[in-house]
Amino acid sequence: MLKKLAKLRCSDYRAISSALVMLPVCAVSLKLKGYNRTRRQFQSGRKRPSSLPRTRQLQIAKRAARAVNIASNHGFYRANCLKRSLVLNRWLHKRGIQAEIKLGVDLFEGDLAAHAWVEHQGTILNDHRNIGRRFKTMTPDLPDDWETHF
């Protein structure tokens, strides 16, 4: 565990700290405002698109996804895929890095399964690279009670 911590950069610790705060904030917002309003609020204050090269943006996006997952898995609040994706998308958006939340559904053994993930330049950031094959993607605008299915 200490070896893994030693490999983290200062920017990783800042992203983890931000996610530790934003994950429960996101959960409260979803409860009070619903999915659509939370998503719009988390995407407000748009910055100019990043001038970094696309390869550098992808590196930053992948590190941010890892930071959000670390915060969710080891922090005081365990977030589901929707909350992790909203927080990651917000973090990237605030830095001018284009990303898109993908929502998908699948019928698994007779039960409806729903999942959320974030893509940047066609690369899945916070999940397995083939998760999009399992779930049929949907429009990002959904009924406000949709998060209860994640």
**What pLDDT shows up at residue 57?**
95
**What pLDDT shows up at residue 101?**
93
**What pLDDT shows up at residue 21?**
96
Q: String of b and e for 3-14 (b: at least 16 CB within 10 Å)?
A: eeeeeeeeebee
| Phi-psi category of residue 110: left, alpha or beta, with phi > 0 → left and psi -120 to 50 → alpha | left
Residue 120 forms beta bridges with which residues? 123
**What pLDDT shows up at residue 9?**
85
What is the domain partition of the chain in residue ranges? 9-149
Bridge-based pairing state of the strands 100-108 and 111-120: antiparallel
Judged on CB neighbours under 10 Å (0-12, 13-18, 19+), 128 is exposed
Give the global pTM: 0.87
- pLDDT (tens, 9 = 90+) of the chain, 150 residues, equals 556 667 788 888 999 999 999 999 999 999 999 988 999 999 887 678 888 999 999 999 999 999 999 999 999 999 999 999 999 999 999 999 999 999 999 887 888 888 999 999 999 999 998 888 888 888 666 665 655 555
3-state secondary structure the chain: CHHHHHCCCHHHHHHHHHHHHHHHHHHHHHHHHHHHHHHHHHCCCCCCCCCCCHHHHHHHHHHHHHHHHHHHHHCCCCCCHHHHHHHHHHHHHHCCCCCEEEEEEEEECCEEEEEEEEEECCEECCCCCCHHHHCEEECCCCCHHHHHHC
**What pLDDT shows up at residue 109?**
82
